[in-house]
Amino acid sequence: MKITFVAIGAEQMGLSILSGIAKKLGHEVNLAFSSSLFHDRFNLEIPWLARFFDDRERVIRTIRETNPDVLVFSCLTSSYRWMLGIAEEAKNMNPEVKTIFGGVHVSGAPEYVIKNNCVDYMVIGEGELAFAPILNRIETGWNNNPIDNTWFRDNAGTVIKGPQKGFNQDLDSLAMDKTLWENDILVGDRYYYMTSRGCPYRCTFCFNNFFAELPDEKKSKGKYVRLKSVDSAINELLEGKKRYKNIRYIDFQDDVFTTDKEWLREFLPRYKNEIGVPFQCLTHPKYMDDDIAKWMSEAGCIWIQLGVQSMDEGFKSKNLKRFERSDHIRTALASMKKYGIKVKVDHMFGLPGEPVEAQEKAWSLYVEYVPSRIQTFWTCFLPGTELLREGIADGIVSKEEAERLNEGLDFYFFQNIDNIKDRDLIKTYKAYHFLFKIMPLLPKFIRMRLRAKHVKHIPTFITMPIAFMADLSLGMLSGNPDFDAYSRHYLFYLYVLLKRKLGFETNITRLNLRGGQPKRSPFMPTGSIFARQAAWQVPASKEA
């Protein structure tokens, strides 16, 4: 069969794995991809530019030209409506094409997704267990037998719900097919990889809050936090490095990269000697100490993203199911600073019930242990999470708002400010947002004296541009890989889309496979980590 995966914005590793499965089964695989410039659903929303650079019609044209038997979608809440629209149009072109919808939005709001006639099969939870049986069903003919982890409608319109099985315990069997993306993105600019699945925590605002509890039989669900073997991870990275000779850095997307200290003790020296490419990752304050920071730094870790969210211990434990103490955060920050790892901390505003004094506690922490960047989020209520259920019960989120959220409407990630009714509280949050953005640039004597009350009444039209420029400057001066990748993504696709409007195509596959050292983004200073990348390169004689 011919299978076309539909994606938006960036590589989705789940689709990479499914593509590998499809190829092993002998199916033909294609990708219909949208770069989604200026409507990327995270940072940049500029409607008139988004309309000018909209490449949705190219996605539809790709589907028409590949003429697939199956279309596959992996949805976030932010991309769900767009993907639903693509599926509807594809069905209008070819009513015989079958669609498979998966992703965290589908798992969080299955009753809403299955209502759509353009959705034929819906996968809940990890998709690898269901994918091959669904393809086999489509290829061999219709029957009503349930499929594990899958919902679908029979000919009478009745929803058939398969049993929800446990989690895949053999991650070594799940190789990623990076070639799926070669003609649409620069794979080596930001080489995504995961060494594990699952998170040891169940934060009420996160998809892990419900995802970990999906299996019907709790005793047989298996471990939720699972790791690839060191050999498997190293071998996959070696294959990637061999194919994409211009990898700039590796972005480990594990929920918490440092959960297993003994695994790290084995993996990191091999990574340094056999891979030798700068990397960044995510971690949790309880999974960082001096030993880990030292090993990570020696192996080439340049940035770590650390979830702080709130500095009120009692509130976090009771309301967010985050049980780390403030001392854990201080120890983690001190260890990473000691070994020269730059830290981006995640901080949330608008958490329901959080004492406003928690912001001052956070300010005091950041003044003492200055992060390289403070990334602020306004609280988002995501489908399926405990936070959304509590928000509805407490009247913070109306039933109508919850309905629209489950339908993927009115979703915006960083600026979800409408949930806060107290206008003075919004002013306070905006003051801290401003302070957190400029604080890493401030001299110590100013940081020690500055407080929210000093900036609270400055108009937003003054503070917001300053905060934006401070954040941008920090990203450039510190060599933040996120800024580098983001700027390169936009510059590259501006070039590609403008060429397309003039009737020319860019051979992105050739750019992916050519050799040579990675080039520095024009937004990155000469002294950035990418200018120093040669220090981490393994001599050619040692490469596999």
Task: Name the residue type at position 420.
Answer: I
Task: Name the residue type at position 71.
Answer: L
Question: By C-alpha distance, which of 78, 82, 79, 75 is closest to 100?
Answer: 75
Give CB contacts under 8 A, 24+ apart, made by 530-539.
Answer: 530/248, 530/249, 530/278, 530/479, 530/484, 533/248, 533/249, 533/277, 533/278, 536/276, 536/277, 536/278, 536/300, 537/276, 537/277, 538/273, 538/274, 538/275, 538/276
Distances (CA, A) of 394 to 167, 286, 310, 399, 429: 33, 31, 20, 11, 21
Tell me, what's the pLDDT at 532? Answer: 39
Q: What is the pLDDT tens value at each position of the chain, 544 positions in all?
A: 999 999 999 999 999 999 999 999 999 999 999 999 988 777 778 889 889 999 999 999 999 999 999 999 999 999 999 999 999 999 999 999 999 999 999 999 999 999 999 999 999 999 999 999 999 999 998 788 999 999 999 888 899 999 999 999 999 999 999 999 999 999 999 999 999 999 999 999 999 999 999 998 776 778 999 999 999 999 999 999 999 988 999 999 999 999 999 999 999 999 999 999 999 999 999 999 999 999 999 999 999 999 999 999 999 999 999 999 999 999 999 999 999 999 999 999 989 999 999 999 999 999 999 999 999 988 888 999 999 999 999 988 889 989 999 999 876 544 556 666 677 888 999 999 999 999 999 999 999 999 999 999 999 899 999 999 998 888 888 888 888 888 888 999 999 999 998 899 999 999 988 854 445 544 444 444 444 343 333 333 333 2
Distances (CA, A) of 315 to 284, 307, 431: 18, 15, 22
Is the pTM of the predicted complex or chain greater than 0.85? Answer: yes
Tell me, what's the pLDDT at 211? Answer: 94
Q: Token digits for 343? A: 């830290």
Question: By C-alpha distance, which of 355, 351, 373 is closest to 478?
Answer: 373
Tell me, what's the pLDDT at 412? Answer: 57
Tell me, what's the pLDDT at 186? Answer: 93
Give the CA-trace dihedral at 508, 509, 510, 516, to 10 degrees. Answer: 90
Treating both helix axes as pointing N-terminal to C-terminal, what angle do 326-338 and 290-299 enclose, rounded to 10 degrees? 40
Q: Please, what is the Cα angle at 236 between 235 and 242, to 5 degrees?
A: 90
Give the CA-trace dihedral at 30, 36, 40, 41, to 10 degrees. Answer: -70
3-state secondary structure of 156: coil
Tell me, what's the pLDDT at 183? Answer: 94
Give the CA-trace dihedral at 164, 170, 176, 177, to 10 degrees. Answer: -80
164/144 Cα distance (integer angstroms): 17
pLDDT (tens digit per residue) in 294-303: 999 999 999 9
CB crowding 75-114: b at 16 or more within 10 Å, else e: bbbbbbebbbebbebbbeeeeebbbbbbbbbbbbbbebbb
Tell me, what's the pLDDT at 522? Answer: 47
